Amino acid sequence: MGPSKKAKGVQKRKAQSPLLTPSPVSSTADIFASSSPVNVPVLNLTMEAQIADIASKLDMIWGKLHKIDSIESKLVLVETALSELKHENSFIREELAAARSEINKKDEIISNLSNQVNRLDQNARANSVRILGLPVTQQTPRAEVEKIVFDLVVNPCVEAAKKEGDLPASVVPFPSLLIDSAFVTPSNNNSSAPVIVKFSNQTTRNLLFRYKKSALPQVKDPAIGRMRSKYSIFEDLSPSNFSLLQLFSKDSRVKSAWTYNGQVRFKTLDSEQMYRVKSPLDTFESITKKSNPRSPASPNPLMVT
Domains annotated for the chain, with CATH where assigned, are: 126-236 (3.30.70.1820), 237-305 (no CATH)
Q: Which residues pair with 27 in a beta bridge?
A: none
Average pLDDT over residues 61-76: 85
The predicted pLDDT at position 48 comes to 80
Which residues, 6 or more positions from 171, have their beta carbon under 8 angstroms from its beta carbon?
A: 158, 162
Q: What is the pLDDT of residues 13-25, one digit of tens each?
A: 545 544 444 445 4
Give the phi and the psi of residue 72 in degrees, each rounded to 5. -60, -40
CA-to-CA separations, 212 to 132, 137, 147, 154, in angstroms, rounded: 13, 22, 18, 9
Which has the closest alpha carbon to 166: 210, 123, 230?
210
**Residues 215/160, Cβ–Cβ less than 8 Å:** yes
Mean pLDDT of 177-203: 88
Q: What was the pLDDT predicted at 210?
A: 94
In the prediction, which pLDDT does 293 show? Answer: 47
pLDDT of residue 300 exceeding 50, the answer is no
Distance CA 260, CA 242 (A): 12
Confidence of residue 225 (pLDDT cuts 50, 70, 90): confident
- Cα angle 229-231-235, degrees, rounded to a multiple of 5: 105
128 backbone φψ class: left, alpha, beta (φ>0; ψ -120 to 50): beta
Check residue 16 and give its pLDDT: 52
DSSP 266: E
Given this model, what pLDDT does residue 86 score? 87
Q: Residues 30-40: pLDDT tens digits?
A: 544 454 555 66
- Cβ proximity of 26 and 32 under 8 Å: no
Handedness of CA 167, 172, 176, 177 (dihedral sign): negative
| Cα gap 114→303, rounded to integer Å | 26
Judge whether residue 240 has pLDDT over 80: yes
How confident is the model over 166-195, as a mean pLDDT? 87
C-alpha–C-alpha distance, residues 300 and 63, integer Å: 91
Give me Rg for the CA atoms of the chain.
57
In this predicted structure, what is the pLDDT of residue 190?
A: 61
Q: Which bin fits 165, alpha (ψ -120 to 50), beta or left (φ > 0)?
A: left
Per-residue model confidence (pLDDT) at position 295? 43
- Return the higher-pLDDT residue of 221 and 5: 221
Query: Using one digit for the tens of pLDDT, what is the confidence trace for 46-59?
Result: 888 888 888 888 88
Residue by residue, DSSP assigns 17-77 as -SSSSPPPPPPHHHHHHHS----HHHHHHHHHHHHHHHHHHHHHHHHHHHHHHHHHHHHHH
249-291 pLDDT per residue, tens: 999 999 999 999 999 999 999 989 999 998 888 999 999 986 5
Residue 28 has pLDDT above 80, yes or no: no
Residue 201 burial by CB count (10 A; 0-12/13-18/19+): exposed, middle or buried? Answer: exposed
Q: Give mean pLDDT, residues 173-191.
A: 86
Q: Is the predicted pLDDT of residue 178 greater than 90, yes or no?
A: yes
